[in-house]
Amino acid sequence: MKKIYSILAVILLVLMAAGCSSNADNEKTAKDQTGTTETQTDGKQQESQSDEETADSNENMSNQLSSGSEKVITVLEKLKTNLETNAENSEVIQTTGKDLEESWDAIEKNVEENYPEDYENIEESLYPLISEAQKDKPDTTAIKKLMNETKEKMEAFKEKIGS
């Protein structure tokens, strides 16, 4: 008889434990369903925030490209000045060539991703210019020609992204 009472006690405990846990599961399910509705509402709000952030990021990228393009143009003008005043000093021209490369590198990836045609057009004259400017004995005639081409392309690009 004692065995029967023990077995009944164990069965009763198992049923009570199962009953309690199923109530907790129901509460979780109710909370999850409410959370899903809240998440859907939040998702719509996040979507509109995402649209605003995209517009802000496009504007920010455009500003970065514009200021980066201006910096490249400024370095090109510095190179022109150095050619006019220090044509014999290859070290100054090499340093300016490195500055030009660094200023272009700052915006290169964005230009390549967002304006691939302009990127190819600019680099047709920019890379030979950088290469020539960094030589031990730079060819000033070639540099002047490439510099003028590159400057025109950069100004046209800056005007394009500014509008």
pLDDT tens per residue across span 33-57: 655 555 555 555 555 555 555 555 6
Instruction: State the pLDDT confidence band at 22, using cuts at 50, 70 and 90.
Output: low
State pTM to two decimals.
Answer: 0.62
Return mean pLDDT, the chain. 80
Encode 145-157: b = buried (16+ Cβ within 10 Å), e = exposed: ebbebbbebbeeb
pLDDT of 8? 76
Sort 129 into a burial class: Cβ within 10 Å, 0-12 / 13-18 / 19+.
buried
When comparing pLDDT for 51 and 133, which is higher? 133
pLDDT of 47? 56
The Cα 8–Cα 5 span in angstroms is: 5
- Rounded to an integer, the average pLDDT of 117-135 is 93
Q: Hey, what's the torsion of the CAs at 5, 10, 13, 17, to 10 degrees?
A: -160
Domain that holds residue 68: 2-162
pLDDT of 31? 56
When comparing pLDDT for 5 and 79, which is higher? 79
pLDDT tens digit string along 69-108?
999 999 999 999 988 887 788 899 999 999 999 999 999 9
Domain total of the chain? 1
Helical H runs in 86-139? 90-114, 116-133
Res 121 pLDDT > 90: yes
Which stretch, 57-61, 142-146, 157-161, has highest mean pLDDT?
Answer: 142-146
pLDDT of 105? 93
Residue 82: how many CB atoms within 10 A of its CB? 19
When comparing pLDDT for 104 and 162, which is higher? 104
The domain that holds 143 is classified in CATH as 1.20.120
Question: For the chain, how many helices (H) and strands (E)?
Answer: 4, 0
